[in-house]
Structure 1
């Protein structure tokens, strides 16, 4: 047995615990040891940076695509008869996770950030035009259409914006390539993003990667995200963790936010 102390993420999760968590979802033939893992971990996940942002009110919760288009039974991409809809089994898994895990956790995170005066920002898929002619080529090919005022563009009521919370409309996977999100966040002074939403392997992953490349300190909240299969969700987290973001749970993030914001209070 190695005498090397077990590494921990900045949110307290041990390397062994994370490896055990993804065991069975990754094919060992497809996964090799990452020789740069420790170097990335040292540069991406130190707790001091996002904690400093929290202490100075420079952190925000970013909620991605929590809307009827892609997160509600019988609507949008899950409408009856839509040819590319996920299988019944995949839909059952997705909505059970959304309703039992993700929505309650996102609601709790929103309440926590609001209590401490931190920004809660909402991103959604919504075109500028009724016919969606301004959509990205990818969204046109996928027939993703959420015009202004449509049911598909509505946020789920449990986690909808409150008051004048900022809403960023997009017609692409990530929030940065198709919007002025970077400009908005710079004006707000936001340097750390805590990310939740759907789908883990698509819009969430794209946004996390882009945010990291743009210099934000990113924390991905794993039990605040969902996609249509357990394997896709966990494989995505395994790729993003430490290379592009810290990965933590709702309970860990709420504890971190409460502790640091209370310490920062006069």
Structure 2
């Protein structure tokens, strides 16, 4: 029997399309106080230390470059629409994940805090495309390229990348602007969803943004 082969990519289409600032958004996934709170500090001290010393400063550099070139900066955070969390997804209820409306844990980490005119979308599921209006918002903003950074690489970042690809965006994951509770989890996730996006370093995407500008 002939061996099965994947069909070739459609003529003229490729994944490594350079970003266009006017059609690009930077999405910060769950870069929020929840991940630097006392419970996470006790359970994953190395993760928090690296987050504060390396990952968040990296994200801050990328946010600054995005703002300087007119790239939209969009945030999503885990936060309920209610104080008691009754609107949470079944998974969040089963997992015991509750960030009440307005809680400190739901705020973006100060070093990368939203500007007054930025979009911030609270969510109560792993997938921002599943429990927010992000797809509607991005299309209204004219976005085609979505740069994804944040936490956790193997959970909510993974979902954002895959769902963005399925909805027709060009996702770009910036590897050193993401993190998880272990290096193994982080690296494994990058390998697992690598087929859905371009995976780049901070320096590579900064150079690409500068070149496009």
TM-score relative to the length of structure 1: 0.74
Map of 1:49-64 to 2, 5 A cutoff?
Answer: 51=18, 53-54=19-20, 57-64=22-29
User: What's the counterpart of residue 108 of structure 2?
Assistant: 155
* CA apart distance, 1:79: 7.1
* CA apart distance, 1:92: 2.6
User: What's the counterpart of residue 213 of structure 1?
Assistant: 166
Map of 1:161-172 to 2, 5 A cutoff?
Answer: 161-172=114-125
Map of 1:134-145 to 2, 5 A cutoff?
Answer: 134-145=87-98
Say whether 1:224 aligns with 2:190.
no
Structure 1 residues 156 and 39: CA distance shift in structure 2, 3 A: farther
User: What's the counterpart of residue 13 of structure 1?
Assistant: none
Say which of 39, 46, 64 aligns to 2:15. 46
Structure 1 residues 47 and 137: CA distance shift in structure 2, 3 A: same
Structure showing greater Rg: 1
User: What's the counterpart of residue 4 of structure 1?
Assistant: none
Deviations 1:3-60 (A, max 9, x none): xxxxxxxxxxxxxxxxxxxxxxxxxxxxxxxx86x967x9986333xx2x515x0001
Mark the runs of 5 or more structure 1 residues left unpaired by the alignment. 1-34, 81-85, 262-266
Map of 1:93-108 to 2, 5 A cutoff?
Answer: 93-108=46-61
* CA apart distance, 1:73: 3.8
CA distance in 2, matches of 1:161, 1:60: 14
Runs of 4+ with deviation above 4 angstroms: 42-45
Between the two proteins, the alignment pairs up a number of residues equal to: 208
User: What's the counterpart of residue 196 of structure 2?
Assistant: 244
Contact 2:129 2:135 in 1 (8 A): yes
Say whether 1:72 aligns with 2:24.
no
User: What's the counterpart of residue 125 of structure 1?
Assistant: 78
Paired residue secondary structure (1:155) = coil
Deviations 1:158-187 (A, max 9, x none): 011012100011000011111111000010
CA distance in 1, matches of 2:16, 2:183: 28
CA distance in 1, matches of 2:174, 2:68: 19
User: What's the counterpart of residue 24 of structure 1?
Assistant: none
TM-score relative to the length of structure 2: 0.91
CA distance in 1, matches of 2:81, 2:88: 8
CA distance in 2, matches of 1:100, 1:44: 39
* CA apart distance, 1:64: 0.4
Deviations 1:176-222 (A, max 9, x none): 11111100001000011000000000000011101100011000000
CA distance in 1, matches of 2:109, 2:170: 27
